[in-house]
Amino acid sequence: MITIETPDGTAEALLVTPSEGDGPWPGVLLLMDVFGVRPYLEEMARRVASWGYVVLVPNVFYRDGSVAELLPQGPQDTPQERAAYFSVAKPRIARLTSEKAVPDLRAYLEVLESRTEVRPGPVGVVGYCMGARLAMRAAGERPDLVAACAGFHGGQLVTDAPDSPHLALAHATAEFCFGHADHDRSMPPAQVRALGEALAAHGLTATNEVYPGAPHGFTMADTEAYHEEATERHYAALRELLDRTLRPGN
């Protein structure tokens, strides 16, 4: 665990490096879902790191508490338990406005590119649930640095708000990969189509797919939403994206 200084305070972050091989390695910023930085998210980061990447996982809710303070206080393996925790965490999402999130993202990316473990050059960002929105903002904020951007079971990626996440695409140059949950009320078919249209309008290389049968939150094995087939599909898509954009020819 390391700490990152932001304009609004200090954020804890996991920094995970490959267990084999010699660095430096390309960097990846992994942006959490609503359940926060926890053991399962560390497992996910370690899997990405095993492909040959340094993975930084910040506590984006640092204004509301430490990693330990924000951990769910019990299992999330029933719809009722998951809904109960979300009702507590939902105000944190609302408080993390784009005005607050963008300076944070700059700080996270600056720390990632400054680490001696990280190879100079482009980095990737990947976000889950609300983290997908943050990943899009990061790609638009640092087009000079972010070459790969992925979002899985993201919600409200295209809205009518003046700071809708999809508007960041106008400034991005990354290659994008989106894997959407099936029948997701937070990302209905019309939004998926609108996202695809926005990606095409800005001439961005992208995949924008719905994973059949996969519920919102499908990658999270510590919740009742876990869907193994969709999760493995997401890992394959993410690895292909990162390898293609961050380490062509290694």
Question: Side chain identity at 220, as an amino acid letter?
Answer: M
Please list, in sequence order, all residues whose beta carbon lies within 8 angstroms of the beta carbon of residue 229, skipping any fewer than 6 positions away: 213, 214
User: Active site residue: 184, 227, 234, 243, which one?
Assistant: 184
| End-to-end Cα, the chain, rounded Å | 28
Query: Can you tell me the distance from the alpha carbon of 150 to that of 133, in angstroms, rounded to the nearest whole number?
Result: 10
Active site residue 227: no
Query: Can you tell me the distance from the alpha carbon of 21 to that of 55, in angstroms, rounded to the nearest whole number?
Result: 15
Query: Can you tell me the distance from the alpha carbon of 215 to that of 82, in angstroms, rounded to the nearest whole number?
Result: 13
Please list, in sequence order, all residues whose beta carbon lies within 8 angstroms of the beta carbon of residue 113, skipping any fewer than 6 positions away: 27, 120, 123, 145
User: Active site residue: 129, 153, 177, 180, which one?
Assistant: 129
Contact 147, 245 (CB under 8 A): yes
Residue 128 CB coordination number (10 Å): 26
User: Active site residue: 216, 227, 234, 243, which one?
Assistant: 216
Question: Side chain identity at 248, as an amino acid letter?
Answer: P
Contact 155, 116 (CB under 8 A): no
Active site residue 177: no
Interior angle at CA 53, CA 52 and CA 58, nearest 5: 155
Active site residue 129: yes
Q: Which residues are catalytic?
A: 129, 184, 216
